[in-house]
Homo-oligomer: A and B are copies of this chain.
Amino acid sequence: MEFANVINGRRAVNFFDPNKEVPENLLKEFIEAAAKAPSSFNLQPWSVIVVKDQEEKARLRKLAWDQPKVSEAPLVLIVLADRKAWEEGHPFVERNFAEMIKAGTMTTGQRDWFKNARTSLYGYSDEAALAFACKNTGFFAMGLMLAAKSLGLDTHPMDGFDQNGVRKAFHIPEHYWIPLLLAVGYFDKNKTLAPPKWRKSYDEIVVRFDK
């Protein structure tokens, strides 16, 4: 599918056909395509919980403003941003360091440099660690929506949910922020899709704050 058609054609779809499953191979394909996203020091602070079970979707729906799409979509991803993904000893930090040594882009002697760089950028405040995790997971999540679209799937990113309620219900450890829920499936063709919403223009996006 042409890139322009994907980025211009992607819509947040409110109505999913509850009878059309998302094949496992497509799920895997769009998740791995999205995971090509760049991230700070390649730390990839993203994870997902795949919610397919009807009882689990019902539990999630109660915590998500009772939005029907949560139980109507064949699957919902709980997207997670790991605020500790920069910390020394984190399994993927260790993996990264090992991979960089293997690739010859870092030496074993640079372990402290690598630790200090991560700490100076993300470890100096809770705010910086949260921003790091949510920004990079935002890259990944945009990839999920676009890659799903390129495979003929539809999605709906959701913010309307109880952050702490979802955390408790799915036993998600405290160090993960939940930036969004993502409903995935096929648009219900018996419904009408609303026209696209307005967007800021180039001139509204570009700013200057000169004194």
Q: A15-23, A66-74, A171-179, A184-192: which one contacts chain B?
A: A171-179
With contact pairs A134-B131, A142-B139 given, residues A197 and B42 touching in the complex (Cβ less than 8 Å)? yes
Residue A6 lies at the interface, judged by CB distance under 8 Å to chain B: yes
Least CB separation from A40: chain B residue: B159
- Which bracket fits the contact residues of A? 35 or more
Could you say how many copies of this chain the assembly holds? 2
Residue A130 lies at the interface, judged by CB distance under 8 Å to chain B: yes
Against B, the Cβ 8 Å flags (1 = close, 0 = not) of A199-211 are 1111001111111
Residue A117 lies at the interface, judged by CB distance under 8 Å to chain B: yes
- B205 and A47 within 8 A (CB): yes
- B48 and A206 within 8 A (CB): yes
Identify 4 new A-B residue pairs, CB closer than 8 A, beyond the known A130-B131, A135-B141, A171-B210: A7-B33, A44-B200, A49-B208, A131-B131
